[in-house]
């Protein structure tokens, strides 16, 4: 099963280097315009709720999945995840936790809050490319998304 258009991914990541590596890794399997980044949980919720500057739906399309870092300033990933999953308009969007953490409490809490999966950030770019390809393949060719 395959969809005609690639999935839209929204990445919430505060580390500029990680953000650039994630974008570069996704470029191998997705068009550049299908991956958007925000810098923290607060910006993520503004994006999802269409609050300026994210109110242009053509420029900022609704994501099919969210890749969410846990440790960010202003509103961390746990807080953002809880808010997304408590909102009837947003809770159907799958959220993948993508963090340096491999803490069992973080894993347990994020699944309890409603995350779809938890991935620890890899140590090499090649591993990152493999993970982004797996994410794209799974979410665009294997499962049916609500959007």
pLDDT tens per residue, range 37-91: 999 999 999 999 999 999 999 999 999 999 999 999 989 999 999 999 999 999 9
Q: Is 1 within a domain?
A: no
pLDDT tier at 4 (50, 70, 90 boundaries)?
A: low
pTM of the model: 0.93
Structure confidence at residue 122 as a pLDDT band (50, 70, 90): very high
- The answer to whether residue 147 sits within a structural domain is no
Determine the pLDDT at residue 30: 86
Work out the percent of the chain whose per-residue pLDDT is above 90: 82
* 6 pLDDT higher than 90: no
Q: What is the CATH number of the domain that holds 135?
A: 3.40.50.2300
When divided into structural domains, the chain yields a total of 1
- Asked if the structure places residue 111 within a domain, the reply is yes
* 22 domain-assigned: yes
Distance between CA 128 and CA 120 in Å, rounded?
10
Instruction: Calculate ∠ Cα 6-79-131, nearest 5°.
Output: 35
Whether residue 146 is contained in a domain is answered as no
| Residue 106 lies in domain | 9-140
Separation CA 35–CA 8 (nearest Å): 6
User: Is the residue at 52 inside a domain?
Assistant: yes
- Give a yes or no: residue 42 inside a domain: yes
HSE-CB at 100 with a 13 A cutoff on CA atoms is 8
Question: Is 66 domain-assigned?
Answer: yes
């Amino acid at each position: 099963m395959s969809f005609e258009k690639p999935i839209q991914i929204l990445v919430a990541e505060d580390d500029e280097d990680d953000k650039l590596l994630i974008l570069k890794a996704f470029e191998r399997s997705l068009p550049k315009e299908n991956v958007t980044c925000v810098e923290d949980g607060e910006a993520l919720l503004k994006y999802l709720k269409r609050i300026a500057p994210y109110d242009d739906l053509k420029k900022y399309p609704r994501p099919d999945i969210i890749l969410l870092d846990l440790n960010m300033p202003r509103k961390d990933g746990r807080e953002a995840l809880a808010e997304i999953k408590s909102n009837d308009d947003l809770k159907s969007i799958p959220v993948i936790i993508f963090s340096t953490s491999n803490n069992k409490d973080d894993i347990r809490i994020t699944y309890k809050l409603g995350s779809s999966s938890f991935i620890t950030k890899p140590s090499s770019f090649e591993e990152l490319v493999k993970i982004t390809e797996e994410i794209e393949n799974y979410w665009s060719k294997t499962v049916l998304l609500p959007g």
